[in-house]
Every structure is written in structure tokens, then in C-alpha cells.
Structure 1
Amino acid sequence: MSPARARHALTAATVIAAACVCAAPAATAAPPNWSGRYTVVTFASQKIGTSIATRQPEPDFSAQYTFSTTCVGTCVATAGDGPAPSNPTVPQPSRYTWDGRQWVFNYNWQWECFRGEGLPREYAAARSLVFYAPTADGSMFGTWRTEILDGVCKGTVVMPVAAYPA
């Protein structure tokens, strides 16, 4: 075999071997599962953003919920068996969709803006995006970002959130 033919044969064999490696089926990860009892914490004391609401002191708050996950095309974790939110405009139950790396809940509601002692609260259109990213120990950490669209509290409010297995 001539040296040129030998190089061609080696190159062809390398291409075929590489194609076989590339064509091998990739191992698929197990579907995500957010199921069981969790303590969900919103760190309101650490809120930041452009809204005047970020300058109003607020304590952290937490509650326990039971999550159940169903995967039919898309995986959805639903929070149940927990307290209702104090603001009745927050959609219930909370349903988090898996986007490939985190659980996401995107919704529209009415922000309850505190305007000062003795003044009535103002409700303003808002949209929120909440996400929780899982960690190796089963806890989840993320952010709750709200954009208040009008009124005295217009602007953004961003708070860290966490979910711990109970």
C-alpha cells in the first residue's frame, strides 16, 4: 500500500470511529422530581430593587407545603397542603415548571403597596418570576423577582428564596 493510500485509510478509519462515538446515544438524566414536604422561605429582609417597597422593612416569612411532580411532556411541581397567601390575587396553587435546570413559576397578580400609617394600601398590577434551582442535598435556592407596573410602588423587587426538605 502506498504511503498516500495508508494515510487515506487511516483518516477514513478515524472519521468512521469518530462518527460511531458521536452517534452513540447519550445517557438521559432522570426526570426532575420536586415531591414531598418542604419548608419554603422568602428572605424579604434582603429585598433589593428599584421600587420604594424595597426600603420598607419586612420580616422573612416561611411556610410548609407538600409538592407533587407530574411529567407529561413537561414536568410540573404543584405546591399544596400549605397556607394560602395573604394576598388573594396570587394564583393558587403554585405550579412550577421545570426548564431543564430549575423550577420556574411566572404569574401576574396585584402588588399590595404600603403607603404609610393611616393610608389605604394601593393595589397595582405586577408580574413575578420565581425560580428554585436544586442542589445536591435536596435543598433549592433561587430568586423571586417582581415588576410592579404602576402606582406608588412602581419598580422592581427582588428577594432570595429557598426550599428545604422538611
Structure 2
Amino acid sequence: MTYASDKMGTSIAAAQAEPDFSAQYTLATDCSTGLCVATVVEGPAPTNPTIPQPVRYTWDGARWQYAYNWQWECFRGDGVPSEYAPARSRVFYAPDIDGTLFGTWRTEILAGACRGTVVMPVGARPV
């Protein structure tokens, strides 16, 4: 679950209304090399085709994390074409005592009208 309605940051995109988003994903975890990696093996594809696939979270000893570079689609108003700008994102999910995960999705938009940061809380739970 991405809580887009709670986003904050310095980018104009942080102030734009957006609904929360949820979807169900299947992840396969492999720790055979000593580094645990959880790879998304099933679920909806991202609506933005520049997000690298498959998504692979690595365990750092306290939380799952995923960092990637992509192109942010900047909404500039009704009837105005979207602008794509380079962006860097980092997602963190930490386990809670009840088995759920909580964290943050932080994006730095590097250029254009939406330049700045967007930070959203995220959460996940096993099904």
C-alpha cells in the first residue's frame, strides 16, 4: 500500500492530490549467497514503464530496501502534456512486531517543473 494521499516534500508533485494505491504481489526470497534478496515474481506491472523490472529488495539487517533510477512523469495541469524528468527513488520496508511492514518511498526529481523531493509512507502485510 502506498499512501499517496499523505505525500510530502519540496516538489510541486508532493502537493498534487493523488489516491492511495494498493496491489497484491508475490515475492520470492533467496538468501543462498548470504545476502537476502526478495524479487517480485508476480503482480501488476508499474504504470510507468521506466521503473526497472523486476523489483528486487535487499535485506540490510533491519529493513528491506530498493533503490532505482527512472523517469518521473510530472503532471503540469489538465490539457498540458506531462513532462518526464530523471529521478532517483529509494524504498524501505521495516518489519513491525505484528508481521506487517512499514516504511518510506522517497524520490528525488532531478530536473524540470517537478524538481524536488516527494516522500510517501508505505506499508505491506502478508496475505
Q: Match of 1:124?
A: 85
Q: CA deviation at 1:73?
A: 2.2
Partner of 2:112 in structure 1? 151
Paired residue for 1:79, among 9, 28, 40? 40
> What residue is the counterpart of 2:72 in the other structure?
111
Coordinate RMSD, CA, aligned:
0.6
Consecutive aligned runs of 4 or more in structure 1 exceeding 4 Å deviation: none
The CA deviation string for residues 92-137 of structure 1, in whole angstroms up to 9 with x for no partner, is 1110000110000000000000000101000000000000001122
What is the one-letter code of the residue matched to 1:66? T
Task: Identify the match of residue 98 of structure 1 among 59, 77, 82.
Answer: 59
Query: Which residue of 67, 86, 103 maps to 1:142?
Result: 103
Q: Provide the rounded CA distance (Å) in 2 between the counterparts of 1:57 and 1:70.
A: 38
**Residues in 1 aligned to 2:16 and 2:97: alpha-carbon distance in whole angstroms:** 35
- Say if 2:5 is the partner of 1:57: no
SS in 1 for 2:107: strand
The 1-side partners of 2:66 and 2:51 are apart by 11
> With CA pairs under 8 Å and 6+ residues apart, which has the higher RCO, 1 or 2?
2
Q: CA deviation at 1:79?
A: 1.3
Q: So what's the TM-score if we normalise by structure 1? A: 0.75
Could you say which residue in structure 2 is the equivalent of 1:35? none
Report percent identity of matched pairs.
Answer: 70
1:8-27 to structure 2, matched below 5 A, reads none
* Unaligned stretches of 5+ residues in structure 1: 1-40
Q: Where in structure 2 are there 5+ consecutive unaligned residues?
A: none
Give the aligned length.
Answer: 126
Paired letter, 1:163: A
**Higher helix share goes to which structure?**
1
Paired letter, 1:111: W
Describe the SS at the equivalent of 1:165: coil
